[in-house]
Structure formats: structure tokens, C-alpha cells
Chain A
Amino acid sequence: MNTAIVQLSYLVATVLFIFALHWMNAPLTARKGVFAGVGAMILAIGATWIQPDIVHHGWIVLAIIAGILVGVPLSMVPLTAVPQRTALSHAFGGLAAGLVGTAKYYLWFSEGPEQLTTFRMVAIIIEIILGYLTFTGSLMAAGKLQEVRWIPQRPVTYPLQNLTNVGLLGLASVVGVALTLNPTAAWAPALFPVVILLALVFGVLLIIPIGGADMPTVIAILNSYAGLAAVAMGFVLDNKLLITAGALDGASGLILAIIMCKAMNRSFLNVLFGAFGQTQQAKTEGSQKVYKEETIEGGGQVLEQANLVVIIPGYGMAVAQAQHKVRELYDQLKKRGVSVKFAIHPVAGRMPGHMNVLLAEANIPYTDLVEMDEINSDMPQCDVALVVGANDVVNPAARSDKTSPIYGMPIIDADKARTVFAIKRSKNPGFAGIDNELYFSERTWMLFGDAKNVVGELVKQLSGSAVH
């Protein structure tokens, strides 16, 4: 009877998890998805806890309370810090999977060696390799995103790097196979930590050569690994709910990683082993080209007379904390009957969908946030494209210059607008170290300065000229 209740609860939890993700397909139903997910999780915890095997309740209560005490503050971080929170969460997921796999192995080794079947050993080895590499890899990613001082921001490369990494993973697999074939040998418990150690080191080395621009992809890949580690745990524990929930998680990470790769015109292998931004030499031949500057007054007048203004935000906008000023500009223009849209590139921001959340926080209706593919057909009708803190995602070299490292990357066609205003802090090139032709185009006028100040001045200019 008890088993039936437990299995039924797990089944209902699986259905609720699927609905939780299904409801994320539209902003109107998305919050229902959160409630479904919470319900599923409560069912899963309850059903596991009431099982007769569970006899020590004190430790469970303590660990849950500790988790809540750390979890609540972690959910209140500023939205610019969500990428590192997400990476940290993958680290926790990987750690949990790794520890449960380790505990199970030693438990079975001492109390029931016959339980260590080949199938289970394979699952345990996959679980701990994925778990521990996700743990250290995600900690590194979180450190890079948080800009922790002793973790290098720039990609770190050294000779034979890829060979070292592949060799390390290969070695871990070989030891894993040896353990799978002889799970109960006297030397097995001593060899087991070697796999753990190799996986931990591999996680660090995997992330070291990856630069900031590739972080959205890397976070998505680590998301997938954390899910697959949970799947492996399900195989180890013979638990179908772990398998289904882990598979949903793994599928989500995979799809997001594919979307990110497509948005940068790169492959998985290239992201993981390519060390982007390292080989690119800064070109100096562009030094003769001159920017055309526009004044705030002039910019304000042009904006005022436009029919359609498309604002193209990049992460620089968030760094300058300019979202709220941009919202004020949006309000001023809307008041004058100007149609204002935001063009969102999939990699604008530091994780998938980051820019949408940052703009939603500034109270900009999501109905005016338009995806790249949809806005591009409207760009020729656009009177003013206002580039705020974006660079590579509007660089026409991606379409035309075969020698450019970003060649082939889909971009927002800002250069097709009748007028382009680009706000830029300095005359230096962007993240990937590439000169941007857009800034030298005939139609482009630069507004130099801090994004928050420039947009703030534009708002003042517009509100000053308003007839009340």
C-alpha cells in the first residue's frame, strides 16, 4: 500500500513538472508553472520521506532548514547577478549528484556488494563524473561571471590544452571502466576517489579557456549536465521520478545551448575547445576612420519626429544601470505617439533571455520586446535605431566581412534604419575585440558618454520641449 502511494505521488509529480515547463510557453500562464513545480516538489519530498527506510529525521530537518536559510537570500540577488546565481545552482546540483553517487557506492561496497551490478556501476561512474565536473565547472563559471579576483576573466590558454583536457577525461573513463569491471575488488574503494579527483580537475580546466562572450552557452551546457547527473542518479537508485525530472532539465539545457550557439554561429565543440577572443589581433588600420558625433539637442529632435524608434540594448546598458532611464525615454516617446520597440538579440546579456528580464524589471511591457528575427523585417521602415550598450550584435561585418571572427553570426540590422544613434562610452572596440563598421556608416551618429547619463540627458531634452 505504502509503495503504491509513493509511486502514485511520483507519477503525479512527473505530470506536474511537465505542466510546469509547458506553462512557461507564455508570460500569462508562466506563474501557474511555478505553482505546479512547487506542488510537484512537495509531493516528491513527502513521498520519499514517509518511506519506512527513512529512520533518521533530525538530520533531514536540519539539512532542509539550512537549505532554506541559504536559498532565500540567493533568490533575492539583483537581476544582473542572476547568471552567477544560476551557475552556482548548477554547482549545487552537480555536488548533490556526486555525493549521492559516492555515498551509494561505499554503502553498497561494505553492506551489499552483490548490489553493485555492472549497470549500476556504469550509472554511478557517469553520475559522479558528470556531478563533480559540473560542480567545479559551474563554480568557475560563477566566479568568472561574478568577477572574483583570483579567477581570470580572460580565456586562459596553454599549449596542448585540448589534448590535456581530453586526456584527463579519457583517464577518468579508463579508471571508471576498471572499477565497473571490478567493483568489489580490494583496491576499488581506493581507486574510486581518483575518478572524483579527475572529474573535479576536468571541470576547472574545461572552463578556464572560455571567455565572457561564451558564458551564455556554457551556462546552458552546464544546466544540461546537472540534469543528466540527476538522470544517472535515477538509474543508480532505480527511481523513475529522478529520471524524468532530470531528463526535462537536461533537455532544457540542451535546447538553450543550441539556441545560443546558433545565435553566435558557432558549434558546441568550438565553444568548449575554441578559446574565442584569444587569437583575434586588434586591427589598427581603422584609425583613419572618423566618428560623427551628434549633440543631445539634435538627437532629441530627431527622436521626437520619428514614427518608429527601435532601441537595441546590450549588456553595456545593464552595466551602466541605464534600464530605468531607457524606460523614461520610452515613456517620453510613447507620449508623443512615437512607436517604440526593443530589438532583443538572443545573446544580449549574460545568459539566455537575460535582457528580457532586465527590461521587464524596468517596467517595460514585454509586448514591446521583439526578437531579432521578427524585428529585422521592420528595420528598413525604422526611422531611428538607438543602440544602447550593444556592439557585436549590430556589427554588419557579421554579414559582409568573411575575415571577421563574428562572420556568419545573425545580427540585428541596425544599419538598415534611416538613422542610427549609437551610445558608446569610449572609442574602444567591444567584447570580442572587433571594430564595428556600423559606427562609421553615413547614417550613424555617435552619442559618446555613459549610457545612463546620455539617455538621461535625452529624456530631459524631450521633457523640456514638451507642451503641457
Chain B
Amino acid sequence: MIESTDYWSLLYVFVLAAFIGLGVIRRVSRLLHTPLMSITNAISGIAVIGSIIVTGGDYPTGIRIMGAIALFASMTNIVSGFLITDRMLKMFKADRKPKPDDKS
């Protein structure tokens, strides 16, 4: 258990990650904004980490029930988010005829 948190480094990580996010997302094709949203749904399932810690720790039952519900909710997001993103992306075709991938 870490006794004292290094708040400043956490805040740096947040600010830098937010800027990377803005830079990367800005370049996402407008064609794919719906799949983008569903893949970020899946990524927001990262709350699974906190849920596992709360569910699996040696804690009172009430605490762990909250953790288990959170874990269920996060897992639902991960599974449905990635599956539906892939399902949608498979529909995007450049042409009806099969064509070798453009290497650009």
C-alpha cells in the first residue's frame, strides 16, 4: 500500500494523456465517429481495474457487493463495446469487389 500519493505526477499524467487524446482523436476519420464512440465505451470499461480491486480484496461484504456490481457494469461495456465496434467496422468497404489492401 503506497503511503503518500505523488499527486503532482498523477496530474501531469492526466494533462499529458488528455493532450495525446485530443491529438489522436482529432485525426479520426469522420466516417468512423460511431465506431470511435463504441470503442471508447469499451475503453471506459477500464473501470474494471478499480472494480476488481474492490471486489477481490479482503473487505466487508457490503463493499464487495458494490465492487461486483461495478465489475459487472464495466465488463458489459468492454464486451459489448469491442464486439459492436468490430461488427460495424466490418461493414465499411471501399468497394464491393475484394481488393488487396492499399499500402499507403
Q: Which residues of A are interface residues toward B (Cβ below 8 A)?
A: 14, 17-18, 20-22, 24-28, 30-31, 33-34, 37-38, 40-41, 44-45, 48-49, 51, 53-57, 59-60, 62-64, 66-68, 70-72, 74-77, 79, 82, 85-86, 89-90, 92-93, 95-97, 99-100, 102-104, 106-107, 110-111, 117, 119-120, 219-220, 223, 226-227, 229-231, 233-256, 259, 344, 346, 351-354, 356-357, 360-361, 363, 365-367, 369, 371
Question: How long is the Cα–Cα vector from A100 to B59 in the complex, in angstroms?
Answer: 13
Task: Give per-residue flags for B16-56: 1 if the beta carbon is below 8 A from chain A beta carbons, else 0.
Answer: 01101110111111111111111111111111111111111
Contacts of B17 in A (CB 8 A): 14, 243-244, 247-248
Task: Give per-residue flags for B76-89: 1 if the beta carbon is below 8 A from chain A beta carbons, else 0.
Answer: 11111111111111
**Pairs across A and B, CB under 8 Å, 9 listed:** A28-B101, A34-B82, A34-B89, A63-B75, A67-B78, A95-B69, A99-B66, A103-B64, A252-B36
Closest-CB distance, A76 to chain B (whole angstroms)? 8
Question: How long is the Cα–Cα vector from A103 to B67 in the complex, in angstroms?
Answer: 7
Closest-CB distance, B38 to chain A (whole angstroms)? 6
On chain B, the number of residues with a Cβ less than 8 Å from chain A's Cβ atoms is 84
Contacts across chains A and B counted by CB atoms under 8 Å: 371
Contacts of A255 in B (CB 8 A): 22, 25-26
A48 touches B10 (CB 8 A): no
Contacts of B96 in A (CB 8 A): 363, 365
State the majority secondary structure of interface residues on B.
Answer: helix
Contacts of A219 in B (CB 8 A): 37
Question: How long is the Cα–Cα vector from A239 to B2 in the complex, in angstroms?
Answer: 11
Question: How long is the Cα–Cα vector from A58 to B7 in the complex, in angstroms?
Answer: 34
A246 touches B10 (CB 8 A): no
Contacts of B82 in A (CB 8 A): 34, 37-38, 41, 75
Q: Which residues of B are interface residues toward A (Cβ below 8 A)?
A: 2, 5, 7, 10, 13-14, 17-18, 20-22, 24-60, 62-64, 66-96, 101-102
Closest-CB distance, B46 to chain A (whole angstroms)? 4
Interface centre among B33, B40, B66, B77 (most CB of A within 10 A): B40
Contacts of A100 in B (CB 8 A): 47, 50-51, 54, 66-67, 70
A242 touches B84 (CB 8 A): no
B52 touches A71 (CB 8 A): no
B91 touches A71 (CB 8 A): no
B39 touches A21 (CB 8 A): yes
B58 touches A56 (CB 8 A): yes
